[in-house]
Structures are given as structure tokens and as C-alpha cells.
Amino acid sequence: MALRRCWGVAGVVPRLLWNSSVLPGASVPGGRSSVSQPHCKKFLLRGFSSAPPSTDVGYEQLKQLLASRKAIIIDVREPWELREYGFIPGSINVPLGQVNTALQLRPEEFQEKYGGEMPQQTDNVVFTCLAGIRSKNALTAAASLGYKDVHHYPGGWQDWVKNEQHN
């Protein structure tokens, strides 16, 4: 009922809702009613994400995490990419398309399939890829499965190589 009265939610309502059964009297071209609804309140629409607010890890921070073994680093690129371009030492390869399933395996199955320790939901997990796009998607998938301390390395392999060459 509120939608029928407040058709201007955030100034936009999908065109599918502009029909006479939803908005009686919507006869103005473009589907908008010429009747003003002063009693309607403006609504603030916002997106929701299951990812934690601060998720980026820089090169230096990643180096420290690797050295201290305080994180599980998961590279979500395809195996051929690791063979062709290289990988971050100490990382586990779980291709992006397998992340959701892999994080729901039993620990011994994960170990057998991916050759590394399966992260627990409370572990610090850092996802990486080539340039930070796939790792962000993996982070979102892990967070939706209940992983609490998930991060991603937005620079990915490209940033890693650049920084390693300077050191």
C-alpha cells in the first residue's frame, strides 16, 4: 500500500511497476501520476554487502602475514595462470569457481584437493588473484559463508611482482 502512495521512492520506480493495477490514475505519459503525494517520506536506499568494511591488504602487510604465518593466503587464479606467470610463495591455489565449494569441504578433503590447510571461519584469510577483481569476489563468497576475518590483496600478482623486483 505504501508503494502505491509513495511511487517516487528515491525518485525511481522500475517501469514494471508503472501499470494501472499498481498506480491507479497513472495516465501521464511516461507512466507517472500527476497527483502529488506530500505525505510520502523519502527513503534512503543502500546496498548491502556481507563483506567486512576494511578488507584491503597491502604488499608490506601481506609480506608480514606470510612471514609470521598469521594468515592463510588463497590465490583464486586458474592453475595455468600460476604455471605461466608465477605465484606468491606460501599461497594455496583455489580457483575462484571452486571457492564456495572448497570452503565447505571437510578439512582433510580440502588438504587433499588443494594441498594446504583449510581455513577455519575465524582464521585470517587473504585472497589474491592477478589484479584484485577475482579476489574481491572470493572475499564476498567467504564472508557469505560466515568467514569473519577475510581480506583481499587488491594489487594481486601484478603488484607482488612489481614490489618483489624492487626489493
Residues assigned a catalytic role: 129
Contacts of 154 (CB under 8 A, 6+ apart): 56, 131, 132, 135, 136
Rounded Cα–Cα distance for residues 102 and 81 (Å): 19
pLDDT value for 53: 55
Return the half-sphere exposure (C-beta side, CA atoms, 13 A cut-off) of residue 102: 24
Q: Specify the higher pLDDT residue, 23 or 74.
A: 74
Q: Look at residue 30 and tell me whether its pLDDT is greater than 80.
A: no
Q: Specify the higher pLDDT residue, 45 or 157.
A: 157
In tens, the pLDDT along 32-82 reads 444 444 444 433 444 445 545 568 999 999 999 999 999 999 999 999 999
Q: Coil, helix or strand for 43?
A: coil
Rounded Cα–Cα distance for residues 159 and 165 (Å): 10
The alpha helices in 13-93, defined as continuous H runs, are 59-68, 79-85
pLDDT value for 94: 98
Rounded Cα–Cα distance for residues 91 and 81 (Å): 14
Contacts of 98 (CB under 8 A, 6+ apart): none
Average pLDDT of the residues in 146-159: 95
Q: Specify the higher pLDDT residue, 118 or 25.
A: 118
In tens, the pLDDT along 70-115 reads 999 999 999 999 999 999 999 999 999 999 999 999 999 999 999 9
Q: Look at residue 7 and tell me whether its pLDDT is greater than 60.
A: no
Domains of the chain: 1-46 (no CATH), 59-166 (3.40.250.10)
